[in-house]
Structure 1
Amino acid sequence: MATYSDADFKDSRFSHGERVRILLRHPKHGGVFGEAEGTCAARETNVAFEAKDGTKRTKTLVWLKDIEGYEKPHPNLPDKTQAVDEAWFAEEALRKKEGDLLDGVSFN
């Protein structure tokens, strides 16, 4: 369970309050199409979900706040987007602000 504290990140390569880059993936094609930035606020491990191919998987999710550069389709206005300033992201989609060892590494 996320606690919004340093304890959430005890076994993570990120820290509570750290500013990170977010690799944004296309929802249909899956490829990375851009980056945004956010601040790590909470972390939840072993979150179960069903993948597109029907297999059961788990991921670690990080709640990011103060997000800049992320927009998603507007729910009520076709062809419009709305800025998102906080959301859950898979931890593997996050990168250190500068010089991350995983830069250039693909993720699923």
Structure 2
Amino acid sequence: MTTYSEEDFADSRFTHGERVRVLLRHPTYGHVMGEAEGTCAARERDVEFETPDGQMRTKTLVWLKNMSGYKKPHPNLPDQTKEVEEAWFAEEALRKMEADPLDGVSFN
């Protein structure tokens, strides 16, 4: 079982247990569709993944718990959404709760 701690955030601008905002972007076009909030629970650097167009990328991911305002399509009910309380996000999508120097900056 993998465990996470404050050391995971040693080189991050966020801290373990910090409440943050997360920008919710359109999966294809990348524009911001909304925001949610969550608490930083874990962080993993250099996670490799494949984009929908088949390119390989590497990002730092942060696991947010105790989320509010994040809904995903319901897996069993068409046209319905389901509240999600925890999920992994790219660290670049996170923002400080108050004004953040990266507000208005896009990494797409």
Where does the alignment leave 5 or more consecutive residues of structure 1 unmatched?
Answer: none
Aligned: 1:92 with 2:92: yes
Counterpart for residue 102 of structure 1: 102
Q: In the alignment, which residue of structure 2 is the partner of 1:24?
A: 24
What is the distance in 2 between the residues matched to 1:9 and 1:89? Answer: 14
Structure 2 unpaired stretches of 5+: none
After TM superposition, the structure 1 = structure 2 runs for residues 35-46 of structure 1, keeping only pairs within 5 Å, are 35-46=35-46
Matched positions, count: 107
Q: In the alignment, is residue 52 of structure 1 matched against residue 52 of structure 2?
A: yes
Q: CA deviation at 1:99?
A: 1.5
3-state secondary structure, aligned to 2:36? strand
CA RMSD of aligned residues (A): 1.1
Kindly provide the CA deviation profile for residues 38-74 of structure 1, in whole angstroms up to 9, marking residues without a partner as x.
0000000000011233221100000000000000000
Between the aligned partners of 2:105 and 2:55, the Cα distance in structure 1 is 23
What letter is aligned with 1:88? W
Aligned-pair identity (%): 74
1:6 equivalenced with 2:22 (yes/no):
no
SS of the counterpart of 1:54? Answer: coil
Runs of 4 or more, structure 1, over 3 Å off, are none
Does 48-57 or 62-71 show the bigger shift? 48-57
**TM-score normalised by L of structure 1:** 0.94
TM-score by length of 2: 0.94
Please give the alpha-carbon distance, in whole angstroms, between the structure 1 residues aligned to 2:78 and 2:29: 20
